Structure 1
Amino acid sequence: MTTNNPPTHFENFQSGVWRQQYQYQSFSPQRVNRLWCWEDPRINTLLEQATRALGELNAFSLIVPDVDLFIEMHIAKEANQSSRIEGTQTAMDEAVMREELIAPEKRDDWREVRNYVDAINMAIAELQTLPLSNRLLRETHAVLMRGVRGEHKMPGEFRSSQNWIGGSGLKDAAFVPPHPSEVPDLMGDLEKFWHNEMIEVPDLIRIAISHYQFETIHPFCDGNGRIGRLLITLYLVSKGLLHKPALYLSDFFERNRASYYDALMAVRTSGNLNHWVRFFLSGVAETARNGRDTFQKVLALRTESEARMHELGRRGKKGLELLRLLYSRPVVTVSDVGEALKMSAPTANALVSEFQRFGLLKEQTGYARNRVFAFEAYLKLFLI
């Protein structure tokens, strides 16, 4: 690919062709590793707004002390929202609990959410030494599918059978992705697009196109939505637009689910790439601003909470340790506190009682034994 190739205009984009298979038609998308341009001025404005908001979010992730504690909550929220789009019913407070605190009938959904947390953490760690690649996506998919529904659907491998979106089967599907024989070549083209330095395409435009292309290829038997949404964050981190994985679009896609699916389908059916890119950039800008605001509120709550620790006297140091624990695990039991802070059960119980008095912890069960406590003011910041 060289810069001498004529650019593809969004307005003239031919998204692909339908190919007749046995008793059904599958969609074969155009390759995307090419130079792109557009005439819609709204895209320029949205690109500027999204880039500015992303920069502000990134700045907060660099200046907030112990930011990785709060990033864990962003990851838990993303895992919960992304899994919710796929039908799981785990609540945000449940997503940060230990498995034994989850009702048995909810544990399957809980494991799917926790697998997604593990998959994100693994992928982000791998980016420290490896470039974004199909290999990384396959490894991430293997973690996502571990021991849950879909574990027998080729975890960690691109599909070798035909899948579909919507409907009960291929004959009444809302959309049929490309034939499995096309998947390796299409995904190879997509990977080249991520790293092609011979074309001048802004990163946010590149990942908008990439997300559309990934969801259209639907390269895995299961888990495509979650991996496709995670791809956005992995790309932004790999390109240095984010130093920490602090931006996730699943909440925006969940709140605008019909518009999200309609925008993707509009590209496939009529080549309307303009509409999809505008929708995507709007999502980045809104989500980045929300993330920035959450960081500001976390800092304010942290300052207020830490100021109360002076009231504990000699136990103030242990109080600060408990606060640090609650930033990454905002739902705990007294035994959790005792184990993490290396305290006896009576001492841990007394400290938890002080946190209740401060209004920092609230008991959730109403039981006299096996009580569960939540840092509700903190949890609520991630539910907005």
Structure 2
Amino acid sequence: MKIEHFKPGRWRQRLQYRSFEPAPVNHDWHWDDPQINVLLEAANRALGELNAFSLIVPDIDLFIEMHVVKEAQTSSRIEGTQTGIDEAVLPEEQIKPEKRDDWREVRSYIDAVNFAIAELRTLPLSNRLLRQTHAILLRGARGQHKQPGEFRSSQNWIGGSSLADAAFIPPHHEGLADYMGELEAFWHNPAIAVPHLIRIAISHYQFETIHPFLDGNGRIGRLLVPLYLVSHGVLA
């Protein structure tokens, strides 16, 4: 399928709202726009430079640890959490009581990243891994009562205060297993001749459109990108 001709899905009428049901992505992709090839070349060069750090940084473990802390702090800030990187590396008892909820969210993200990367040594990138990582992400944080480690069993929405005024309503929860199963198949389908960066861009879009968790979709979706790259040997 040409990327330029892709129809992302359709709206489906429910009882009192319409949910968006995304189109399948587990098929071959190609394109006519030559600018995509130019951007791919630049992005792959940047990835190669990033990967080279593992060869020249004297203490790669320290480098990765600080990168994970920075990523956790930045990703959590997107979700409205306010914890500085200097605070993220402190023990909890040194954090002001009014900031400890934010601190716990960042630390849970750090634990989730480290867990997921370690699990890739024995477990392929999969929905099982994402669910286990999600359970750690919400552990002791403000989303701990929103089905940590499980795909949602109710309808969620983005923006607005209810389904009535939502900016976007993801697919109904009854179809989540099929949608996420199809997405997982796309990650590992050897018959699809598509560059990894194109595949992960489509995967990130599809994951956020499905929005499979009640909370933490943004953080897990952003984490999906490096997990895919590591699992396929693009990043060491």
Where on the TM-score scale, by shorter chain, does this alignment land: which range?
Answer: over 0.9
Alpha-carbon distance, 1:28 to partner = 0.1
Asked which structure has the greater CA Rg, the reply is: 1
Any conservation in 1 of the 2:57–2:63 contact (CA below 8 Å)?
A: no
Residue 207 in structure 1 maps to residue 206 in structure 2: no
Equivalent residue number for residue 151 of structure 1 = 144
How many Å separate the matches in 2 of 1:144 and 1:62?
30
Residue 188 in structure 1 maps to residue 177 in structure 2: no
Counterpart amino acid of residue 147 in structure 1: G
Equivalent residue number for residue 44 of structure 2 = 51
The runs of at least 4 consecutive aligned structure 1 residues that moved more than 4 Å come to none
Structure 1 length as normaliser, TM-score?
0.61
Structure 2 length as normaliser, TM-score?
0.99
Deviation string for 1:97-142 (max 9, x for gaps)?
1111110000000000000000000000000111000000000000
Query: Which structure's residues are more often helix, by fraction?
Result: 1
Alpha-carbon distance, 1:216 to partner = 0.2
Alpha-carbon distance, 1:164 to partner = 0.4
Aligned to 2:144, the other structure's residue is in SS state coil
Alpha-carbon distance, 1:223 to partner = 0.3
1:129-278 matches, cutoff 5 A: 129-243=122-236
Counterpart amino acid of residue 241 in structure 1: V
Aligned to 1:37, the other structure's residue is in SS state coil
How many Å separate the matches in 2 of 1:144 and 1:66?
27
Q: Which runs of 5+ in 2 are unaligned?
A: none
Any conservation in 1 of the 2:75–2:219 contact (CA below 8 Å)?
A: yes
Counterpart amino acid of residue 143 in structure 1: I
Equivalent residue number for residue 16 of structure 2 = 23
1:268-307 matches, cutoff 5 A: none
Alpha-carbon distance, 1:10 to partner = 1.0
How many Å separate the matches in 1 of 2:195 and 2:166?
34
CA RMSD after TM alignment: 0.7
How many Å separate the matches in 2 of 1:136 and 1:63?
31
Residue 97 in structure 1 maps to residue 129 in structure 2: no
Aligned to 2:103, the other structure's residue is in SS state helix
Alpha-carbon distance, 1:209 to partner = 0.3
How many Å separate the matches in 1 of 2:55 and 2:154?
44
Count of paired positions:
236
1:87-126 matches, cutoff 5 A: 87-126=80-119
How many Å separate the matches in 1 of 2:109 and 2:122?
21
Alpha-carbon distance, 1:62 to partner = 2.5
Q: Which runs of 5+ in 1 are unaligned?
A: 1-7, 244-384
